Amino acid sequence: SLRRSFATLTKGLRPTIRQLLSQSSQASPTTPIQVNGWVKSVRRQKRVAFAVITDGSSPLGLQAVFLDPALARSLTNGAAVRLTGMLANSIGAGQAKELQVHTVDIVGECNPEILTTILSMQTYPIQKKALTTEYLRDHCHLRTRTDEGASVVRLRHDTLNALHSYFQAQGFCYAHTPLVTSSDCEGAGETFRIGTLLSSQSSGDKEADKQPPEFFGRPAYLTVSAQLHLEALSASISRVFTISPCFRAERSQTGRHLAEFWMLEAEWAFTESVDDLCQVAEDAIKSTLRQPSADLAALQTGMDPSRAKILQDAARPDRWPRITYTEAIIELEKVQASRRLFEFPVGWGRTLQSEHERWVAEHLVGGPVFVTDYPTQLKPFYMRQNVEGDTVACFDLLVPHLGELIGGSLREEREDKLLQAIEHHGLNLEDYKWYVDLRKYGGAPHGGFGLGFERLISWLSGIENIRECIPMPRWAGRMLL
Ligand code: 4AD
């Protein structure tokens, strides 16, 4: 009868466990509720049994109390269950509310005995004992069943919300850019080429089969950055941003590189100073450092205190320091001469390697730092040439324990200088005609930046490797599922 009365009471989506546990929950202690979720743990005693139920909506599970322990007899870790009962204030420590369970439905068994004994199938791999990072990467379809794996997904969600709110409050329009492109924005030769395979099979349509072998009629690539397309949009919408997957055929097997990652990119017109670009980047990151995320708090528990302090300090209103590339090189050269700390050589005109970036952020500054005005030869064709020195008007945001988190620049809006840069980089002008057009027709000074989303999650959470900061990572030699 309880089940019947419950059925008449509920329509549509039922509250999640997060909603039930929230202060503003409407659940009344006299009305039965239904909770759907998975069993995280079961504890059986003589007269009572307890289980923690999670539906993934919150880092906290719901404590379920079985005053009749027989009800909990068939519960196993990982099983999908539907429980009905009354939500009551809890007398136990650590949780405000608990579910006093009246009925139990196992809607999806986990490791039913028949499978393990008769078919000798594997037991449920997500066990209480600590599982290695490598093991969880091999089982990434189950990784989000661990506390950390689930927290990462929710932290991504919360952080995206914080970034959306920040950019929308600043008058930016969220826009969509293509994933299939004809250009290599960064010119690093790391594009994945696509689109030729379909044409080698007959489509069954004679006319279609006569078409050129390229599916798009020209070489096509997966995007490495939305920037060039965003520039086109910013030349009419003024302030735009996007959050898009990017693909790079990166060979480097580091904890900072993925072949498929997400980037937040912002682009806006009528800006003429790198300092302004840095300010927007800084405020955007600060909005994520200050977000009220239970998962961020959960992931930061146990973080090295010195690391946690850097994050706390970074959230303060004080402006993050800005130094030029040339100043950074002078400091790096000094330390290299006296202490020979680095594996890679240091010198003006050389790339800052990750070890150099980290030293600047961790030791020279002790927090996030903007490094500006890199040598022209180190940067892509679209960056605006500075009046003095052979440098461009750009910045990288470097943060402790990670290195580069953001890259951005003013864009070359002067048509003649842009044409020179296209030629200098050996690019085919035909491919960039539309891009040059943007300068011809009311080309305002403009600029923007790209923020590596997994790197941000890594920095905020203290999770060392960005392969753990995306649910299903792809890198050279690895693509499960
Ligand atoms: O410095 P990058 O290459 O800059 C651009 O792509 C610009 N077009 C962005 C713009 O101005 N709109 O990349 C920007 C950021 C890096 O700072 C880094 O955080 C991240 O993207 N990133 C990667 N993250 C994970 N895996 C990779 N392979 C990455 N490559 C870059």
- The CATH number of the domain holding residue 104 is 2.40.50.140
Please report whether residue 391 resides in a domain.
yes
Ligand 1, atom 21: nearest CA belongs to which residue? 452
Confidence at residue 6, expressed as pLDDT on a 0 to 100 scale: 53
- What per-residue string of b and e applies to 55-73 under the rule 16 or more CB within 10 Å gives b? bbbbbbbbbbbbeeeebbe
What is the pTM (predicted TM-score) of this model?
A: 0.94
Asked if the structure places residue 270 within a domain, the reply is: yes
Please say whether the beta carbons of 73 and 33 come within 8 A: no
Task: Note the pLDDT of residue 312.
Answer: 97
d(CA 383, ligand 1 centre) in Å: 15
> Does residue 110 share a domain with residue 231?
no
Using alpha carbons, select from 402, 131, 119 the residue that is nearest to residue 257: 402
What is the chain's mean pLDDT, rounded? Answer: 92
Ligand 1 atom 7: residue of nearest CA: 450
Q: Which residues pair with 108 in a beta bridge?
A: 80
Alpha helices in 382-467 (DSSP H): 415-424, 433-440, 453-461
Distance 326 CA to ligand 1 centre (A): 22
Its domain, for residue 356, covers 143-468
Instruction: Give yes or no: residues 452 and 312 share one domain.
Output: yes
User: pLDDT for 82-123, tens place per residue?
Assistant: 999 999 988 776 678 999 999 999 999 997 655 555 555 567
d(CA 481, CA 478) in angstroms, rounded, equals: 10
3-state secondary structure of 99: strand
Residue percentage of the chain with pLDDT more than 90? 79
Interface predicted TM-score (ipTM) of this complex, two decimals: 0.99
What's the domain count of the chain?
2
Q: How far is the CA of 437 from the centre of ligand 1 (A)?
A: 25
Q: Are residues 85 and 220 in the same domain?
A: no
Instruction: Indicate if 92 and 241 belong to the same structural domain.
Output: no
138 part of a folded domain: no
What pLDDT is stored for residue 201 in this prediction?
A: 61
Tell me: do 257 and 362 sit in the same domain. yes
Same domain, 96 and 153: no
| Ligand 1 centroid from CA 250, angstroms | 12
In a domain, residue 137? The reply is no
**Residue 132 maps to a domain:** no
Query: Ligand 1 centroid vs 261 CA: distance in angstroms?
Result: 9
28-52 pLDDT per residue, tens? 778 899 999 999 999 999 999 999 9
Q: What is the CATH number of the domain that holds 170?
A: 3.30.930.10
Atom nearest to 405 CA in ligand 1:
19
Task: Tell me whether residue 133 is in a domain.
Answer: no
Instruction: Report CA(249)–ligand 1 centroid distance (Å).
Output: 13
| Residue 86 one-letter amino acid | M
**Residues 158 and 18 both lie in one domain:** no
Q: What is the pLDDT of residue 427?
A: 92
Q: How far is the CA of 13 from the centre of ligand 1 (A)?
A: 39
- Looking at the CA of residue 409, tell me the nearest atom of ligand 1: 11
CA of 68 to the centre of ligand 1 (A): 56
Do the domain assignments include residue 127? no
Q: Which of 102, 118, 134 is the last residue of a domain?
A: 118
Dist. CA 257 → ligand 1 center (Å): 10
Query: Is the residue at 125 inside a domain?
Result: no
Do 103 and 179 belong to one domain?
no
Q: How far is the CA of 406 from the centre of ligand 1 (A)?
A: 7
Q: Whose CA is nearest to atom 23 of ligand 1?
A: 452
Do 396 and 265 share a structural domain? yes
Helices (H), 93-226: 113, 133-138, 147-169, 206-209
Q: Based on the fold, state whether residues 107 and 176 are members of the same structural domain.
A: no
Q: Provide the Cα torsion 335, 337, 339, 343; round to 10°.
A: 90
Residue 340 structure tokens: 């020979």
Structure tokens at 92: 């136990």
- Confirm if 103 and 85 have CB atoms less than 8 A apart: yes
Nearest CA to ligand 1 atom 4: 407
3 state SS for 229-298? HHHHHHHHHCEEEEEEEEECCCCCCCCCCCCEEEEEEEEEECCCCHHHHHHHHHHHHHHHHCCCCHHHHH
N-terminal to C-terminal alpha carbon distance within the chain: 44
Average the pLDDT over 146-168 and give the result: 98
C-alpha 407 to ligand 1 mean position (Å): 6
Domain co-membership, 240 together with 339: yes
Ligand 1 residue neighbourhood (C-beta within 6 Å)? 185-186, 225, 227, 248, 250, 257-258, 261, 263, 265, 404-408, 448-450, 452, 454-455
What band does 12 get if pLDDT is binned at 50, 70 and 90?
confident
Q: Ligand 1, residue 406: give the atom nearest the CA.
A: 17
- Ligand 1 atom nearest the C-alpha of 250 is 28
Top mutation candidate among 395, 455, 456, 470 for ligand 1, by most atoms within 8 Å of CB: 455
User: CB count, 10 Å around CB of 11?
Assistant: 7
- Asked whether residue 166 falls in the same domain as residue 240, the answer is yes
The best mutation among 225, 460, 474, 478 to test binding of ligand 1, ranked by most ligand atoms within 8 Å of the C-beta, falls on: 225
Atom number of ligand 1 nearest to Cα 265? 12
Predicted pLDDT at 347 = 97
